[in-house]
Amino acid sequence: MAQVTIGLLHPGEMGSVLGELLRAAGVQALWASEGRSGASRERAGSAGLTDAVTLAALAAESGVILSVCPPHAAVEVAQQVAAQRFAGVYLDANAVSPATARAVARLVEGAGARFVDGGIVGPPPKTPGTTRLYLSGKESGLIAALFEAGPMETIILDGPPGAASALKVAYAAYTKGTSALLLAIRALAIREGVDDALLKEWTRSLPDLSTRMEAALRGSVRKAWRFVGEMEENAATFAEAGIPDGFSRAAADVYRRLAGYKDSKQTPSATEVAAVLGGR
């Protein structure tokens, strides 16, 4: 494919690694530092991204814009890009509902862009076989070509924009939903004084749960602030489909209570998490 300049909004944990993949493939990748945090600046520098400083400059210089941000910010970011009259290809790779993805599509397409819906399954893609980028929309092939040489697999779905987001919702409803459930279950057991007995029973009858519980403590708790919006988007998707949505709403509440652990360097104990979830 012809060389294209990519604008990346914004270099968080996932976005910065995507930027590294693009740079490794010889693609010029831009970001906009205006209004961003010191941590974002550090990640962008480590990824080798070129600073366009402002969103206006990034939109003017980019043929493709990748939006990788917390779910609650997806629409706002799209509005900001649309205000620049960006006319290239816009990939929304955020964990949003199909309805939100379609709303983003209307915003950017109304300003002249072409829209691709994306859903990322897996961790930041540093090794092959760990991460998939699901895509839907007419320009999906262009996005897939950008990452074909790297460790992230791209999968184009036979469906309109919204299909990739629907798959991500269905996947995350289980992974992040059950992590929230495990954290809540453990908090209840600790509060009722049966934690040791529960752990012993898990060892006997459900031996994988202890491992999954530890993974939830290590990974999900410090990212809880980000998962609130994702679970709310999940709930909206279930509700729109006429399916009970209380599972995802409860998961959002669990993560909302744990949002104070954002960027924590230490893994909290189950007892500490239980105290926070129980309001103590």
Structure confidence by residue, pLDDT tens digits, 11-56 = 899 999 999 999 999 999 999 999 999 989 999 999 999 999 999 9
Q: Phi, psi at residue 99, to the nearest 5°? A: -65, -40
pLDDT exceeds cutoff 80 at 1: no
Residue ranges and CATH numbers for the domains of the chain are 6-159 (3.40.50.720), 166-277 (1.10.1040.10)
**∠ Cα 99 105 107 (to 5°):** 110
State residue 2's pLDDT score: 53
Per-residue pLDDT averaged across 174-203, rounded? 98
pLDDT digits (tens, 9 = 90+) for 54-74: 999 999 999 999 999 999 999
What's the number of CA atoms in the CB half-sphere (13 Å) around residue 149? 10
Cβ within 8 Å of residue 2, ≥6 positions away: none
Contact (CB, 8 A) for 121 and 165 = no
State residue 263's pLDDT score: 83
pLDDT digits (tens, 9 = 90+) for 111-148: 999 999 999 999 999 999 999 999 999 999 999 999 99
pLDDT digits (tens, 9 = 90+) for 15-24: 999 999 999 9
Kindly list the strands in the beta sheet with 64-67, ordered across the sheet, starting from the edge strand earlier in the chain: 50-51, 29-31, 6-9, 64-67, 89-92, 114-121, 132-136, 153-156
Could you say which DSSP state residue 259 is in? G
